Structure 1
Amino acid sequence: MADEFHVIDSREAYDEAVERIEGGSGPVAVDAERASGFRYSQRAYLIQLYRRGSGTFLFDPTMLGGFGEVQALIRDEEWVLHAASQDLACLREVGLDPVRIFDTELAARLLGMPRVGLASVVEELLDIKLAKEHSAADWSTRPLPQSWLRYAALDVELLVDVRDRLAERLAEAGKAGIAEQEFEATVRREAKPPAAEPWRRLSGIHALRSPRNLAVARELWLARDALAVEADVAPGRLIPDASILAVAKNLPESKRALADLKAFNGRASRTELDRWWAAIETARTAEPPATRVPSDAPPPPRAWAARNPEADARLRFAKEAVAEVAERLEMPVENVLTPDHLRRVAWHPPIEPTAGNVADALAALGARPWQLEATAQIIADAFVRAAQSLADAAHEAS
């Protein structure tokens, strides 16, 4: 490993890197560092790449015009990423888009490893300890300190070796095919569409009941978001969610009352006081939001017993059955079948609870073929047992 790392931030250095990458062979390890919690955007501020025979490359995407040459060179190679779903969006934003991947974090989950963070996986497989002290750093900082660059380089320099060890374990466990399906699903998964009313994701908003309180929360959120975009600052660094909720609950009647509210804090709470007060005044005359938002999602399972006892029984019996499959496969339950998929099928079951019908319903939600093979029949059987259990209980009660 080099004693000093250099960031590639010019086209000349970029072109030299492309030549070196072309001279390497095998899978390409890729990682990206963002500035979550510091900046508004989720763009990449550093992109790391490693290939055997080529070396390690640290690119500054904010200074480079694009990555077309790198993409053309490695597009059809296997890309090795750790927790790929976290990085694919910001990589695609600069034109880096893999055809096939090997996700080392997902592989570790499928193998039932107790800890799946990169440092833990590296330590277990390679007996090397990685320091993770810069994982939450502000990667928009310039220039980037050498200690940060060293940390970033290690994130990819060991990744191909980790991939090889995990591939061996997957083959030994008979899970190589499962992993391939999961990796392909990760690459093909479409990004979620933006929320129609993103302000409703405010932490603690469920505590607000009246339209007036919700209107204040909405307008403050919108005002904060506009300022965050303008300044490219994480919204919570201006005023935290808790401050917005405090104002929405207290409904201050004047700008002075807003300034005097101790729970209203954050670095922009007083410097932008006019902005926040204008938002509150807008809330007084704006169309109030609905207290409830229509959704096709089932209600929280805790309400099922009262609202839909049949669905509650289906879910309880099916969860037990899927948990047994997870134990047999030695992997987390959520990897055997997405919990939301099971809840939706339990709430809206097929008319005939056959394995084929359950499989069709799960496939429509995005379940992979291996998941259908592992769970469709046992879920169908669980639904039948649930119905019989309710029938027996009703018979005994009569």
Structure 2
Amino acid sequence: MADVFHVIDSRNAYDDAVAALAGGVGPVAVDAERASGFRYSQRAYLIQVFRREAGTFLFDPTGIDDFTSLHDAIRDEEWVLHAASQDLACLREVGLDPVGIFDTELAARLLGMPRVGLATVVEELLGIRLAKEHSAADWSTRPLPQSWLKYAALDVELLVDVRDRLAERLDEAGKAEIARQEFEATVHREAKPPAAEPWRRLSGIHALRSPRNLSVARALWQARDALAAETDVAPGRLVPDASLLAVAKALPESKRALADLKAFNGRASRTELDRWWAAIEAARTADPPATRVPSDAPPPPRAWAARNPEADARLRLAKASVVEAAEALGMPVENLLTPDHLRRLAWTPPEEDGPDAIGQALLDLGARAWQVEATSQRIAVAFVQATQSLEDAAHEHS
């Protein structure tokens, strides 16, 4: 490993790095560092790339405005990432989009490793202890300290070795094809559409019941979001969620009352007082939001026994069977089958009985072929058992 790390932020250095990477051998390890919690955007502020016989390169996306040649040089190679779903969006934002990946975190989950953070996986597989003291750093800082760059380089320099060890274990466990399907699904998964009402993600919003309180919460969230986007500062660093919620609960009647509210704090709570007060006043005349959000999702399972006993029985028996299958495969149950898929299936089962109908319904929900193969028969049997148990109970009480 180099003693001094250099950030590539000029075109000449970039071209040299791309040429070196193009001449490297084997998979390409890629990682990205953002400034979550510090900046409004989720852009990458550092992109690390490693390839055997090429070396490690730390790119500054704020200084390099076009990554086309890097993308072309490595696009068709296997990219190795840890928790790829966290980085793919910001990599794609600068034009780096892999064809195929190996996700070391996902592989560790499929193998049933108890802890899947990169440092833990590296230590278990390679016997090397990684320090993670800079994982929550503000990567928009310039210049980046050498200690941060060393941390960032280590994240990719060991990743290909980790990939090789995990691939061996996947082969030994008979899970190589499972992993291939999961990696492919990760690459092709569509980004979630923006929430229709993102302000409802305010922490503690469920405690507000009246339309007036909700209207103020919405207006304050929108005012904060606009300021955060304008200044590229994480919203919570301007005014915390708890402060917005405190105002929405208190409904201050004047700007002075707002300023006197002790629970309303944060670096922009007083410097932008006019902004917040204007939002509160606008909320008074705005159409209030609905107290309940329309959703096609089933209700919380705790309400099923009273509202839909048949669905409750289906879910309980099917869930137990899927858990049993996950234990047999040695992986977390949520990796065997997305819990929401099972809930939707239990709440609204297909019209036809049997594993084929269950399997098609799971595919329609987004399950992979291996998941269908591992669970559809079990779920079909559980649904039949649920129906039979309810019929038996009805006969006993008739």
Would you say same fold, with TM above 0.5?
Answer: yes
Q: Could you tell me which runs of 5 or more consecutive residues in structure 2 were left unpaired when the two chains were aligned.
A: none
Name the Cα RMSD after superposition: 0.6
- State the Cα deviation string for residues 197-243 of structure 1 (Å, max 9, x = none): 10011111111111100000000000000000000000000111111
Secondary structure of the residue that 2:25 maps to in structure 1?
A: coil
2:142 is the counterpart of 1:142:
yes
Q: Distance in 1 between matches of 2:240 and 2:302?
A: 30
How far the C-alpha of 1:165 sits from its partner, in A, is 0.2
Distance 1:143 1:98 in 2: 29
Cα deviations by residue, 1:321-373 (Å, 9 ceiling, x for unpaired): 00000000000000000000000001110122210000011000100000000
Q: Distance in 2 between matches of 1:214 and 1:293?
A: 12
Partner of 2:106: 106
SS at match of 1:225: helix
The superposition leaves residues 140-191 of structure 1 with CA deviations (integer Å, 9 ceiling, x where unpaired) of 0000000000000000000000000000000000000000000000000000
Matches of 1:220 and 1:377, distance apart in 2:
50
Structure 1: 5+ residue runs without aligned partners?
A: none
Q: Secondary structure at the match of 2:121?
A: helix
* Structure 2 residue identity aligned to 1:179: A
Q: Which residue of 2 aligns with 1:214?
A: 214
Q: Which amino acid aligns with 1:296?
A: D
Match of residue 15 from structure 1: 15
Shift of 1:397: 1.8
Q: Equivalents in 2 of 1:353, 1:243: separation in Å?
A: 51
1:33-85 per-residue CA deviation (whole Å, 9 max, x = no partner) reads 00000000000000000000000000000110111001001110000000000
Q: Give me the whole-angstrom Cα distance separating, in 1, the residues matched to 2:182 and 2:19.
A: 32
Distance 2:33 2:306 in 1: 46
In structure 1, what is the Cα distance between the partners aligned to 2:353 and 2:254? 60
Partner residue in 2 for 1:395: 395
1:26 match: secondary structure: strand
* CA distance, structure 1, for counterparts of residue 194 and residue 176 of structure 2: 34
Give 1:174-253 correspondences, 5 Å limit. Answer: 174-253=174-253
Report the counterpart of residue 363 of structure 2 in structure 1.
363
How far does residue 193 in structure 1 lie from its aligned partner after superposition?
Answer: 0.4
**2: distance between equivalents of 1:206 and 1:40?**
24
SS of alignment partner, residue 322 of structure 2: helix
- Which amino acid counterpart does residue 254 of structure 1 have in structure 2? S
**Aligned position for 1:95:** 95
* 2:109 paired with 1:119: no
Q: Which residue of 1 aligns with 2:276?
A: 276
Which residue does 2:49 correspond to in 1? 49
Range with greater deviation from structure 2 (200-209 or 142-151): 200-209
Q: Alpha-carbon deviations, 1:264-298, whole Å to 9, x = none?
A: 11111111111000000000001111111211011
Deviation by residue 1:309-328 (Cα, 9 ceiling, x = unmatched)? 11111100000000000000
Return the letter of the residue paired with 2:149: L
Counterpart-to-counterpart distance in 2, 1:239 and 1:184: 40
Within 2, Cα distance between the matches of 1:242 and 1:396? 53
Any runs of at least 4 consecutive aligned residues in structure 1 with deviations exceeding 6 A, and if so which? none
Q: How many positions carry a matched residue from both structures?
A: 398
d(CA) in 1 for partners of 2:353 and 2:159?
A: 44
Of 52-61 and 246-255, deviating more is 246-255
In the alignment, which residue of structure 1 is the partner of 2:343? Answer: 343
Tell me the alpha carbon deviations over residues 90-148 of structure 1, each in whole angstroms, 9 at most, x when there is no partner.
00000000000000000000000011000000000000000000000000000000000
Q: What SS does structure 1 have at the residue aligned with 2:270?
A: coil
Residue in structure 2 matched with residue 129 of structure 1 by the alignment: 129
Say which SS state the counterpart of residue 190 (structure 1) adopts. coil
Residue 160 of structure 1 is matched in structure 2 by 160
